[in-house]
Each structure stands twice: as C-alpha cells, then as structure tokens.
A and B are shown apart, each in its own frame.
Chain A
Amino acid sequence: MATLRDETFSIRSSDDIVKVRQITRELALMQAFSLVDQTKLVTAASELARNTLEHGRGGDVRIQALQEGARRGVRLVFTDQGPGIADLDRALRDGFTTGNGMGLGLSGSKRLVNDFDIQSECGKGTMVTIARWT
C-alpha cells in the first residue's frame, strides 16, 4: 500500500474540528472521491474529532491518503489519552450518549465509512480508525 500523504494535527479546540474537516475534504478531493463520498467522510471526521475533543479531552488525528492497487482511500486515526470507554458495545449503539448529544457520533460515523476500528482502555484513552475507499 502506498502512502501519498501523511499528516498529523492536534485537536484542542472547536476551531481544530473545522480544520480537520478542511484537511479531510482536501485529501478526499485529491483522491477523486465523489461528492457524496467526500461528504460522508468529512461528516464522520467531524463527529470523531468532536468526540476526541469532548470525551477524550483533546488528542491527535493522523490523516493519510492511500493507494492500494486501483483503490484510492483516505484514512484517519483519532487518538486521545482521555478516560476511555468502559462499554464499547453500548457506545457503538445508536442513541447511547454520556453528554448532551444525540448519541450518533460513533454509530453514525461507522455507517459513513468502509473501515471502522475502535480500541479503548479505561484510564488510558481511545483510538478510532476510519477509512473510506473509492
């Protein structure tokens, strides 16, 4: 698999969420995603960046543009050293929320991408990986 671009940004404020959206859009455009695919990926990135900020108390995102054979993709890895998620199965269900949101962040983003992976440990933090491919 070839990596065409690889960048890491910190997520510390709501302006950073906007920045993550912009970079994700830029890479999705570079990879010639359709408008709907771009929109889905940017929306998922926005949800997960906000999770990192609000639930993970801030963190980082690594954004990569990838090529695997004829497939072109964009992968995002969100990492935080926050409190972690005690019950991942519950957190991935629609409507589960600890804050004042609607509980669609994780479950909704999962539906918007092709690859989704989450690792979390209580007291250590959370890592969410998503990717969308052409």
Chain B
Amino acid sequence: MERIPILKMGNFLLVTVQVDMHDRLAMTLQDDLTGRIVKDRAHGVLIDISSLEIVDSFIGRMIGNIASMARVLDAETVVVGMRPAVAITLVELGLSLPGVRTALNVDKGVEMLKESIEDKARGNGHLAG
C-alpha cells in the first residue's frame, strides 16, 4: 500500500507530502504518524505541504487532527510551506486551521519547534522550583 514517508530529524519528525493526497492515504498518515511519535519519542512534527496544490476541508481536518493527537502525545506540530493560493482558498473556504501552527519553510519550522520546546523546558523548571 502507498504510504507517505516519515523521516526522523533529531527530536523531530518530518513529513513531506508530495502526492495528491487521496482520503485513505491521509487517514494512513494520521495512524502512522501518531505511532512514530511514540516510538521515536519525538517532541515535534513538521508537515511540509509545499507540494500540495490544494487543501480542502478533508485534508485540513486531517492536519488539525494530527496536531491535536500530537499535542496529547506531548509533541508540537508545525505546518510548513503552504502555497499562497492555497492560503487564500483556505480562508475563503472558511477553514482557519485552529490550533495549527505554521511557518514559511522547514528551517523556520525547526526554529519554531526548538523555541517552543525550550520554553516548555523552562516552564517545567519553574514548576519544579
């Protein structure tokens, strides 16, 4: 069966969606990714959608679900590389991806994840102290 590859980058997982996602593939990714977050003890997930020509409500919902599931598993999600035409269409469609953080590209996404993990570590330090 066709699958979207998940790469490990240090503490993070990188998913590059390069195919026109059909619905079953999106569901498989959701399952695979949650499994890998636990197995690899990942603290962050980067979803690169720069190859996606459209994001409809189904794919939008899948991205939102992944972010929520990852959060419950103590990992942050950042969606990177959204095309401008996709962003315009998403907003008009009425999909604002609540709870999903975005960055312009993978580098910025990694920075964002590192910062939020450091913040979290400091926050925990306060609690312990």
Contact = CB atoms under 8 A, between A and B. Distances in A.
Interface in A74-110: 94, 101-102, 104-105, 107-109
Interface in A2-41: 14-15, 17-18, 21-22, 25, 35-36, 38-40
Q: Determine the main DSSP class of A at the interface with B.
A: helix
B114 to A, nearest CB: 31
A107 B94 CA distance: 9
Contact of B23 (A25, A50, A107, A109): A50
Interface in B47-62: 53-58, 60-61
B54 A21 contact: yes
A108 B93 contact: yes
Question: What range describes how many residues of B lie at the interface?
Answer: 20 to 34
A102 B63 CA distance: 13
Nearest to A16: B22
A75 to B, nearest CB: 19
Contact of B54 (A46, A104, A107, A108): A46
A111 interface: yes
A42 interface: yes
A35 B86 CA distance: 10
A47 B85 contact: no
A67 to B, nearest CB: 24
Given A111-B94, A112-B89, A18 B54 contact: no
A126 interface: no
Nearest to A103: B57
B53 A14 contact: no
A36 B38 CA distance: 39
Contacts of B86: 39
B32 interface: no
Contact of A25 (B24, B53, B88): B53
B74 interface: no
A43 interface: yes
